[in-house]
Amino acid sequence: MHQNILQFQVASYRFLNEQGQLEQALPEWTADQERILAAYRTMVLIRNFDQKAISLQRTGQLGTYPSVLGQEAIGTAIGQSMRKDDVLAPYYRDLAAQTLRGVSLKETLLYWGGDERGSAFENCPEDLPNCVPIATQLCHAAGVATAFKVRGGKRAVVASCGEGATSKGDFLESLNVAGSWQLPLVVVVNNNQWAISTPRSVQTASESIAQKAIGAGIQGVQVDGNDYFAISDAIIKAIAKAHAGKGATLIEALSYRLGDHTTADDASRYRTQAELKKAWSREPIQRLRQYLLDQGLWSETLEQALQADTRKRIEQEVKAYLDTPPQPPEAMFDHLFEELPEALIQQRAELIANSMQTGGGLA
């Protein structure tokens, strides 16, 4: 005879439907109307900046850039919900979160323009830099969360990744240690349905990403990541839990990558127009705008003023970026180690000697 010893459930929820109408009563924190309006303004800023960054790349003024089009609610919810002394361990699609944490758009442009000074965040120096190697930031985040736990403070770490990253050992190892040591860690998975050309359907046989938390003994929840209220609610609860010393949470935020993977990709080669069109009808900004309009909190006049303000702010930041003098070639050795190893000291010296011979440029 055998018996089932355990059963699990994974919650999934949203408040706003695809038309921006409420499906259930909003949680208490939404009484703060300024927070909701600020979220909307951030999402619009990020969408306009995203478009500008792609134009800069197309005209040779920026390196490869990963668009966040369609996923603005997730980063906005992360950025708004964290306390200043928490730590963000972002991946490369966390523009909204980073901007709200205090990373300037100029710093963001410097980073994607290949300038390491773009990772030396003036306003949030303890946040980790952008992480491009898939899922490695989750191990770093678990490490920082361990330090917070050992110190006995009340700080939390929020880390994010795409659903493709959840197939990596780093993800599972981080969740495992977070469960084992009850770490103050929140992992937000931006499930945007595609990992470059790999669709969600073949990424994993797991019915949800949220259930991957179960094996680690931590709570996992799935929310509609295009519903600003749902993703914020999940993150607020998870951070409060981490601050209270009650351990880690995995949040799967369902969304869709409306743009190419990066400017080096052409998504039309592997997905259909029909799928894209359907995804556009679910995107987060129009949903929140509809809600605000229905509540009498938004208007066409406010929208026009916001569009004009964000464009002006973006132009100023782009100018500041383009006006930043480039660093000398040997700057590539900076920001790597506190003290350079011998081999790199030699290479740095050779580079300087070589660039002097060639009149300042690289041979």
Contact residues: ligand TPP, CB under 6 A? 93, 132-134, 161-165, 190, 192, 194-196, 257, 261
**Residue with Cβ nearer ligand TPP (99 or 262):** 262
Cα 254 to Cα 234: distance, rounded to the nearest angstrom: 12
Write down the least CB distance from residue 131 to ligand TPP, Å. Answer: 9
In the complex, least distance from residue 225 CB atom to ligand TPP, rounded to whole angstroms: 12
How far is it, in rounded angstroms, from Cα 84 to Cα 104? 15
Q: How far apart are CA 61 and CA 58, in angstroms?
A: 8
Residue with tokens 């010296």: 349
- Burial label for 219, CB within 10 Å (0-12, 13-18, 19+), is buried
Q: Which is nearer to ligand TPP, 132 or 305 (CB)?
A: 132
Catalytic (active site) residue 2 = no
The active-site residue, picked from 93, 261, 282, 287, is 261
Q: Least distance from C-beta 70 to ligand TPP, angstroms?
A: 11
Half-sphere exposure of residue 22: CA atoms within 13 angstroms, side-chain side? 11
How does 282-321 read in b/e, with b if 16+ C-beta sit within 10 Å?
A: bbbbebbbbbbeeeeebeeeeeeebeeebeeebeebbeeb
Would you say 108 or 190 has its CB closer to ligand TPP?
Answer: 190
The answer to whether 162 and 189 have CB atoms below 8 angstroms apart is yes
Distance CA 311, CA 129 (A): 26
Do the beta carbons of residue 252 and residue 243 sit within 8 Å? no
Closest approach of Cβ 113 to ligand TPP, in Å? 19
- The minimum distance between CB 310 and ligand TPP, in angstroms, equals 24
Q: How far is the CB of 262 from ligand TPP (least distance, A)?
A: 8
Closer residue to ligand TPP in complex, CB, 16/253? 253
Looking at the chain, the number of H-run helices and the number of E-run strands are: 12, 8
Q: Among the residues of the chain, which ranges form H helices?
A: 33-58, 72-81, 95-101, 105-112, 136-151, 169-180, 200-203, 228-243, 273-280, 284-294, 300-322, 342-357
Nearer to ligand TPP, 237 or 261 (CB): 261
Q: Of 193 and 310, which CB lies nearer to ligand TPP in the complex structure?
A: 193
Q: In the complex, which residue's CB is closest to ligand TPP?
A: 162
331 DSSP assignment: G
- Contact at 8 Å (CB) between 90 and 130? yes
Q: Which residue in the list 35, 58, 270, 335 is annotated as catalytic? A: 270
Instruction: Tell the smallest beta-carbon distance from residue 312 to ligand TPP (Å).
Output: 29
Catalytic choice (155, 257, 282, 287): 257
Residue number, 190 or 208, with CB nearest to ligand TPP: 190
Query: What is the rounded CA–CA span in Å between residue 255 and residue 189?
Result: 10
257 included as an active-site residue: yes
Confirm whether 261 is a catalytic residue: yes
What residues are labeled active site?
257, 261, 270
